[in-house]
Amino acid sequence: MKYKIGALVILLTLLCFFNYVSAKNKDLPLLSKVIYLDAGHGGADSGAFYKNVKESDLNLKITKKVMDLLKNEGAIVYLTRYGDYDLSVGNAWNRKRSDLSRRANIINRSECDLYLSIHLNAEDSGTLHGAEVYYDTINPENKKIAEIFQEEFKENLNTTRDYKENSTKYLQRRVSRPGVLLEVGFLSNSSERALLRDDTYQNKIADVIRRAVNIYFSN
Ligand SMILES: [Zn+2]
């Protein structure tokens, strides 16, 4: 009898423990998820450049904010670059291609659960504005990820733009892990440029990305 009660107590304790762990995993959908963040451009390649504002600098700032938020929720986060440099090797003439193919290889080898390339948009008229998402069909998850992110952008970042399938993006075409490219605003639009440079707005973008990542992993 004594042993039976002992065994029952152990069983109940274990049940409580497993319930606790599964409840905790439900509360923390990002726990132990591996996420690769790719801040676009860097080094000699500034990306879009308007009125002394480099896309590469803002991409990295926003990316690091996203990293901090995701780490806080238990995700394991890596960046393709942590400073103002690119990943190219060899001679300069194919610098861009070398940079992007190394980023793609790093992300593919990581076997991450999700990757996000973070960029700013630009176009000649200076009138377009708003965040939008690009995905490639190389991974069937990508369209779903694009939908989730665009929905969050529409709800929280005052954009009417839509997500797009785009197979011309060099990196996205080569990454088989699930993920998308986020163009979080237009640097070519003067009022959006002012917002994108603002630390509070950068925090807001990072938080919207955090929310979308949570929705993706909660589904
Ligand atoms: Zn870019």
CATH code at 31-218: 3.40.630.40
Cα 119 to ligand 1 centroid, rounded to whole Å: 4
In this structure, is the dihedral angle defined by the CA atoms of residues 143, 149, 152 and 158, taken in order, positive or negative?
A: negative
Ligand 1 centroid to 70 CA: how many Å? 22
> What pLDDT score was predicted for residue 139?
96
Cα(204) to ligand 1 centroid in Å equals: 20
Ligand 1 centroid to residue 33 C-alpha, Å: 26
Which protein residues have their CB within 5 A of the ion that is ligand 1? 40, 47, 119
184 contacts 205 by C-beta, under 8 angstroms: yes
What is the distance in A from the centroid of ligand 1 to the CA of 195?
17
Question: Global pTM?
Answer: 0.88
CA distances from 199 to 45, 52, 108, 134, 196 (A): 23, 17, 32, 25, 8
CB 39 within 8 A of CB 80: yes
Q: What is the pLDDT of residue 151?
A: 98
Q: Give pLDDT, residue 167.
A: 72
Per-residue pLDDT of the chain in tens (219 residues, 90 and over written 9): 666 666 656 665 655 555 555 555 567 999 999 999 999 999 999 999 999 999 999 999 999 999 999 999 999 999 999 999 999 987 777 889 999 999 999 999 999 999 999 999 999 999 999 999 999 999 999 999 999 999 999 999 999 999 999 877 889 999 999 999 999 999 999 999 999 999 999 999 999 999 999 999 998
Smallest CA-to-CA distance from 35 within 139, 95, 137, 114 is with 114
Give the Å distance between the CA of 192 and the centre of ligand 1.
16
Q: How far is the CA of 60 from the centre of ligand 1 (A)?
A: 11
- What is the CA(31)–ligand 1 centre distance, in A? 29
